[in-house]
Chains A and B, each alone.
Chain A
Amino acid sequence: MNIAPSDIKSRPVYAPLQPDPAATRHWLVLETGAINRKTVDELIEMFRPVASSLQMWTVGSGNAASTALQVLPDLSALSQALRDRGPFHVSDRFYAQGTEPFLWSVAGEAGQVGFTPAQIRLAHTGSLRRRVWCTHCHGLTENVTTQVVACAGCGRHLLVRDHFSRRHAAFMGVMVDAEVPGERPAIEEVFP
């Protein structure tokens, strides 16, 4: 399912991944479980012109969609792998594909080893599920598929807004029934 453009300008817009021909090295990270075999094959094909300077990983436990992929069990393994391969240069490019929370988590890891936003390309695949940041306790709630969710940190019911923070890699959640406690809209699954 594709992410529809929102009226809210802070909401990131994604585009299919293509290698940057001017770059000297390419680092491609996929989300295990969000990508199927067909998508992997398409990406390998798309990046064939730069295959000799390409490193591909799939991050997350589970069955890798293709044996062509090197598997990293989790984000901290990705973080370590990046540190082992550094230092990076202005001519490196970092690409990621997966669900939105994954994309911004790995973008954060790339940022930690110095990649600037201009060097990072992100494409969305798979579930629309969101990570939500609670404005009141500043805690994060994962795997949110509904427009109202109980905060994993403080329990308040949050309205999941489209306002997105790249730094927090999450959408803003604001208490939905602050004005009249208990007066809440029916919960709907809108980010399946």
Chain B
Amino acid sequence: MITSSLKLSVTAIEDIAPSLRHVRLAAADGKPLPPTGTGAHVLLSLPGLDRVHRNAYSLINAPGSRHGYDIIVRRVPVSRGGSAAVHDRLTVGDVLEAQPPGNLFAPVRNAKHHLMIAGGIGITPFLSYLQDMGVRQVGCSLHVCCRESEKEVFNPWLPENANVKFHWDAEGHRLDIAALLARQPVGTHLYVCGPSDLNEAVLQAAKTAGWPENQVHTEHFGGASSTGKAFEVVLQKSGLRVSVGEDESLLEALERAGASPLCLCRGGACGVCVTRLLEGEPEHRDHYLSPEEKASGQSIMPCVSRARSPQLVLDL
């Protein structure tokens, strides 16, 4: 009844562009995997140089895939570890631990139309949308903003007759967000997935264009920034004392120190890592806690949030 973790073996690796790597995973024991979902992701544990990196990657498979999980990973120039692990060290035959797929970006099933805007690698969650029979039935269109050199790269995963348009930064090819968002038919839901500046631009344009808030959805790819001023953390229950560096998140510092708090999206959205704060002033950067909860200072999301005070004491 309960599946808390999976063992996946790497069965194929393919560099589809200078900084894009496609990885195929299968069940290490050969049994059917839990079926993938539309908009779902898989959290992989990637062995790093000094610690394990747990990163979530969108599953690009048609929903219901049980024989394999496919992901595409961008090489990040200044990698926090996960991307480098995939691009530099991953080999066919490696066995990785993973969690059964989760989903924080599912399409709204009673939408009358799905309008998707992707920025670069942000296209990946939409590849499963394009293969979802319910989504296709009501109609969907995908606009991808990417480098001109990459516009053919995703073709193997675009279904025939898919309504996809590519945009890049050249005269006549840029996406006019305001024009796209104006006069969209009732019942359309809008999804944006890309770097935070694209997400922000689209959210703002949607607001200005009179879209109801609950018809606009984003998945944060590249996440809320979780770096900042260094601070100290004390774990009340275990007695551990951890220094959180400037370029690591509170969560990463805890993991580095050997604590492994529950987490999932690592982007301040899902609520899994919510931790009781006993002392200290938090700097909230998450999308999960309510304004009241943030104001009370009794909870914190370690994956993205940091401290205003020199020290935090956590109930861990």
Please list the residues of chain A having a beta carbon within 8 angstroms of any beta carbon in chain B.
Answer: 20, 22-24, 87-93, 113-116, 118-119
C-alpha spacing A88/B188, complex, angstroms = 11
* A20 in contact with B186 (CB, 8 Å): no
B185-A87 in contact (CB<8A): yes
Q: Which of B182, B186, B208, B210 contacts A116 (CB 8 A)?
A: B186
Complex CA gap A23/B182 in Å reads 11
A-B contact pairs, 14 of them (CB 8 A): A22-B207, A23-B210, A24-B210, A89-B185, A90-B188, A91-B182, A91-B210, A92-B186, A113-B186, A114-B112, A114-B185, A114-B186, A115-B186, A116-B215
B208 x A22 contact (CB < 8 A): yes
For B186, give its contact among A23, A24, A90 (CB under 8 Å): A90
Q: Is B184 an interface residue (CB 8 A)?
A: yes
The residues of A that contact B182 with a CB separation of less than 8 Å are: 91
CB pair A20–B210 under 8 Å, yes or no, is yes
Residues of B within 8 A of A118 (CB): 212-215
> Could you tell me the distance between the alpha carbons of A88 and B210 in the complex, rounded to whole angstroms?
13
Q: Chain A nearest CB: distance from B109 CB in Å?
A: 13
Known: A89-B184, A90-B188, A90-B209. 18 other contacts (CB 8 A): A20-B210, A22-B207, A87-B186, A88-B185, A89-B185, A89-B186, A90-B184, A90-B187, A90-B210, A91-B182, A113-B186, A114-B185, A116-B212, A116-B215, A118-B213, A118-B214, A118-B215, A119-B186
Q: Would you give the shortest CB distance from A95 to chain B, in whole angstroms?
A: 14
Kindly list chain A residues whose C-beta atoms are within 8 Å of the C-beta of B211. Answer: 90-91
A98 CB to closest chain B CB (Å) equals 23
Docked Cα-Cα span, A90 to B184, in Å, equals: 6
In the complex, what's the smallest C-beta–C-beta distance from A1 to chain B, in angstroms? 31
Whether, in the assembled complex, B237 has its beta carbon less than 8 Å from a beta carbon of chain A, the answer is no
Residues in chain A near residue B213, CB distance under 8 A: 118
B210 in contact with A22 (CB, 8 Å): yes
A99 to B182, CA, bound (A): 34
Taking CB as reference atom, which chain A residue is nearest B212?
A: A118
Q: Is the interface of B mostly helix, strand, loop or mixed?
A: loop
Q: How far is the CA of A89 from the CA of B212 in the complex (A)?
A: 11
Q: Do A119 and B185 contact each other (CB < 8 Å), given the known contacts A22-B207, A114-B112?
A: no
Q: Does chain A have a CB within 8 A of B31?
A: no
Give, as a whole number of angstroms, the nearest-CB distance from B169 to chain A.
Answer: 27
Cα distance A90–B186 when bound, in Å? Answer: 5
Residues of B within 8 A of A93 (CB): 210
Q: In whole angstroms, how far apart are the Cα atoms of A87 and B214 in the complex?
A: 21
Closest chain B CB from A9 CB (angstroms): 18
CB proximity of A167 to chain B, nearest CB, Å = 13
Question: With A and B bound together, what is the CA distance between A47 and B185 in angstroms?
Answer: 24
A24 CA / B112 CA spacing, docked (Å): 20
- Give the distance to chain A from B185, nearest Cβ to Cβ, in Å: 6
Neighbouring A residues of B209 by C-beta, 8 Å: 22, 24, 90-91
Contacts of A113 in B (CB 8 A): 186
Inter-chain contact B184/A119, CB cutoff 8 Å: no
Partner of A114, one of B187, B207, B212, B214: B187
Residues of chain B from 129 to 153 with CB closer than 8 A to chain A in the complex? none
Those 9 A-B pairs whose CB atoms lie nearest each other, nearest first: A91-B210, A114-B186, A118-B212, A22-B210, A88-B186, A23-B210, A114-B187, A89-B183, A90-B184
Looking at the complex, which one of A20, A22, A90 makes contact with B215 (CB distance below 8 Å)? A90
In whole Å, how far is B268's beta carbon from the nearest beta carbon of chain A? 24
Q: How far is the CA of A91 from the CA of B211 in the complex (A)?
A: 5
B247 smallest CB distance to A (angstroms): 39
List CB contacts (< 8 Å) of B172-209 with chain A. 182-188, 207-209
CA of A115 to CA of B184, assembled, Å = 12
Residues of A near B187 (CB, < 8 A) are: 90, 114, 116
CA A20 to CA B210, docked complex, whole Å:
9
The smallest C-beta distance from B252 to any residue of chain A, in angstroms, reads 38
Q: A residues within 8 A CB of B183?
A: 89, 91
Provide the bound-state CA to CA distance between A33 and B230, in Å.
67
**How long is the Cα–Cα vector from A24 to B207 in the complex, in angstroms?**
12
Cα distance A92–B184 in the bound complex, in angstroms: 10
Contacts of B214 in A (CB 8 A): 118
